[in-house]
Amino acid sequence: MNHAYVFPGQGSQFSGMGKNLYESNEVAKSLFEKANEILGFRISDIMFSGSDEQLKQTDITQPAVFIHSVAAFNTIDNAAPDMVAGHSLGEFSALVANKTLSFEDGLKLVAIRAKAMQKACELQPSTMAAVLALDDNKVEEICANISRESGEIVVAANYNCPGQLVISGSLKGIEIACEQMKAAGAKRALVLPVGGAFHSPLMASAKEELAKAIHDTHFNEPICPVYQNVVAQAVSNPAIIKENLIAQLTGPVRWTQSVQAMVADGAGIFTECGPGKVLQGLVQKIYKEAQVNGI
């Protein structure tokens, strides 16, 4: 039975995150201090005692979740993943775990990604919404119809688990979509408290900025495959990993399909490394027989 390590994304942060790791583990402590040095400010102080409002800022949230996730993974004795995956931002943590990226390079890329996404959010007001209990095909069809008929951008963004799909787009596009999703039988269509339309064409300006940074960064041969969000299959070629990581900013997070692909390739144990338990819950909904745990 293969052991998959999975890494959460934005939204799993909380005040106090990583404090226990910092205080109880020297390896984790050294990573937090290295991160403070790389970023040029004590992000650990914000993680341990900052307000929820501070931690919601994209340029704080993304590095914070990344640092916590990699620190958690590094506390595991003799961790030997057979495969890794990360939800959105978590893909960067996964790429450190399978040694494609160094911690330092991973953190620098995450910081660039977070700032670029923050800027893209400010360029055009946009948002996301969770659609519950409606078939994926129906959600995609409604999004495509709205985009075609109204000219508003609205796309399927996060395939989290069966019956839970997050859509992303312009404020008007999401407003129309929520009404139509409910009319089509969705149990709920709820606008999320996020700063912008992640994983949609509205992140194009951020994608350009991130692409340059990724192309300028050395990616190693990984020790195990990463199941990347945009293709939902095992990838080991560093050049392809780079392209998929860039495409992820404007492309969907195919989490349901990624977990299904890992299971098809023999995964039975899933360990979530990082703040919260969101992925443990999603994995269990996708594959009920999975053994799930967290660090």
| Beta sheet of 188-191, edge-to-edge order | 154-161, 164-170, 126-132, 188-191
DSSP character at residue 28: H
Residue tagged active-site, from 12, 88, 168, 170? 88
Active-site annotation holds for 3: no
- Amino acid sitting at position 289: E
CB 153 within 8 A of CB 169: yes
At which residue do the structure tokens 């979530």 appear?
Answer: 272
What are the two backbone dihedrals, phi and then psi, of residue 120, each rounded to the nearest 5 degrees?
-65, -35
- Amino acid sitting at position 106: G
| Beta sheet of 226-227, edge-to-edge order | 234-235, 226-227, 83-86, 2-7, 267-272, 291-294
Rounded Cα distance, 3 and 29, in Å: 26
Rounded Cα distance, 120 and 109, in Å: 16
Residue tagged active-site, from 3, 199, 200, 258? 199
Active-site annotation holds for 218: no
Q: Classify each residue of 162-192 as buried b or exposed e, where b means 16 or more C-beta atoms within 10 Å of its C-beta.
A: eebbbbbbbebbbbbbbebbeeeebeebbee
Active site residues: 88, 199
